[in-house]
Amino acid sequence: MGRDHLAMKTDQVTAELIDSDINDLKIAAKKLFNHATKLGGLGFGTSFLKWVASFAAIYLLILDRTNWKTNMLTSLLIPYIFFSFPSVLFHFLSGEFGKWVAFITVVLRLFFPRHFPDWLELPGSLILLLVVAPNFFSHTLRDSWVGVLICLIIGCYLLQQHIRASGGFRNSFTQTHGISNTMGIILLLVFPIWSLVLHIL
């Protein structure tokens, strides 16, 4: 009886300590959010998440040749990168440098198709899209909530396709290749969700 009572007391103390730690973490998270807001504003968080999302999409694009064989999935990453690309990189790649890269890509594709590697197809398509996109897409939609919503729809679609291909939600987190792919897709969702919340607020 005494041992059972002691075990119950120990469990109760442990539960209280865990609750206390969780509360401390919540307070720390609130302080971190408030300090980040004061220092850089919410815009800093948005631009940071935009960088993370863009590199996550590029990472998934690189993984495509080794882990995924779905053309639809791969092609959807291109418009996602287009709408989520940080402005600095977007203007650099859509400027004179991007025009030269696009020109070389077209020349290689037209006159040396046998020597044009398959893995350059999608990066080349992205550069072409960045260079030739009308202002309506490259400025109006990219800088509005519509572009963010497109990113969210693409991220949700890719996530459910990946879960289905993995054989379920649990498998997508337990398989060797599934974890990296799942985490990459989740990073795709963080930026549009954050941006839409800010738009609503």
pLDDT at 63 over 80: no
* 194 or 169, higher pLDDT: 194
Better-scored residue on pLDDT, 102 or 35: 102
Where do the structural domains in the chain lie, given as residue ranges?
A: 1-39, 42-200
For residue 21, the model assigns a pLDDT of: 56
Which range has the worst mean pLDDT, 30-39, 126-135, 154-163, 188-197? 30-39
Instruction: Convert the pLDDT of each residue in 125-167 to its tens digit.
Output: 888 898 988 888 888 888 788 888 999 999 999 888 888 877 7
Helix residue spans in 95-168 (DSSP H): 96-111, 121-132, 135, 145-166
Q: Quick: pLDDT tens for 159-185.
A: 888 888 777 777 766 666 667 778 888
Could you give the CA distance from residue 109 to residue 120 in angstroms, rounded to a whole number?
10
User: For residue 69, what pLDDT band results from cuts at 50, 70 and 90?
Assistant: low
Please state, in angstroms and rounded to a whole number, the distance separating the CA atoms of residues 117 and 75. Answer: 17
103 vs 117, higher pLDDT: 103
Is a pLDDT exceeding 70 seen at residue 1?
no
Side-chain half-sphere CA neighbours of 63 within 13 A = 19
CA separation for the pair 40, 90 (Å, rounded):
22
Contact 183, 190 (CB under 8 A): no
- SS3 for 55? helix
Q: Is the pLDDT of residue 40 over 50?
A: no
Report the range of poorest mean pLDDT among 38-42, 118-122, 139-143: 38-42
Q: Are 120 and 112 in contact (CB under 8 A)?
A: no
